[in-house]
């Protein structure tokens, strides 16, 4: 079997079962702790900032970072909006469950990433792709995608818990 084919098939075979279990878990209602919802976005932003500070990108590449940031912010806000939040009727705890549209967003992101990895691997020399720039742009996109998703859920959860009459 071709080594390039293996570099695509093996990650897909590893990712599919993980994705299956993750998507099943996303659909089940889970308890959210309002006081901890800010933690994941903060960690994502800190980690991305630390990675980028280790080898700062060039100013001439700023347009790619701005586009990645805007796409991450828009995607994260949309994905956060798709997360269903409600207050548990019996004990008043905040509950969340993913939506099928949110699962589709996750699957599309995984397919896009695998496709980009395969395409860049095949055409990197011809396209004159800077691998470090591409990696940094994806770091910005991913960090903001998950951070803004968490922020949107936090803001909505705080509003829902403020409206709830249960303790």
Weakest mean pLDDT among 6-15, 68-77, 118-127:
118-127
Cα–Cα distance, 11 to 134 (Å, whole number): 19
pLDDT at 120 over 70: no
- The answer to whether 118 and 8 are in contact (CB under 8 A) is yes
Q: What is the pLDDT of residue 152?
A: 92
> Which of 63-72, 114-123, 151-160 has the largest mean confidence?
63-72
The full set of domain ranges for the chain reads 3-163
SS3 32: strand
The residue whose two tokens read 């940031």 is 69
| Rounded Cα distance, 57 and 114, in Å | 24
The structure tokens listed for 121 are 């691997």
Contact assessment for residue 140 and residue 44, using Cβ atoms and an 8 Å cutoff: no
Tell me what pLDDT residue 117 has: 65
Contacts for 9 with CB less than 8 Å, ≥ 6 apart? 1
Average pLDDT, the chain: 80
The answer to whether residues 37 and 94 touch, using CB atoms and an 8 Å cutoff, is no
Does pTM top 0.75 for this prediction?
A: no
Q: Shortest CA distance to 144 belongs to which of 70, 81, 51?
A: 70
Tokens, residue 66: 């701005």
Enter the tokens of residue 91.
């004990």
- Name the phi and psi angles at 59, rounded to 5: -65, -30
């Amino acid at each position: 079997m071709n080594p390039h084919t293996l570099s695509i098939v093996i990650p897909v075979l590893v990712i599919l079962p993980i994705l299956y279990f993750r998507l099943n878990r996303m659909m089940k209602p889970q308890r959210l702790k309002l006081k901890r919802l800010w933690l994941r976005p903060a960690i994502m932003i800190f980690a991305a900032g630390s990675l980028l500070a280790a080898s700062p990108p060039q100013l001439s590449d700023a347009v790619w970072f701005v586009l990645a940031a805007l796409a991450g912010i828009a995607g994260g806000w949309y994905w956060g909006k798709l997360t269903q939040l409600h207050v548990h009727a019996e004990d008043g705890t905040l509950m969340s469950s993913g939506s099928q549209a949110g699962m589709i967003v996750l699957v599309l992101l995984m397919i896009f990433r695998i496709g980009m990895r395969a395409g860049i691997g095949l055409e990197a020399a011809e396209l004159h792709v800077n691998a470090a720039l591409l990696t940094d742009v994806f770091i910005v996109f991913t960090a903001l995608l998950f951070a803004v998703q968490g922020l949107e859920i936090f803001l909505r959860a705080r509003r829902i818990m403020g409206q709830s009459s249960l303790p």
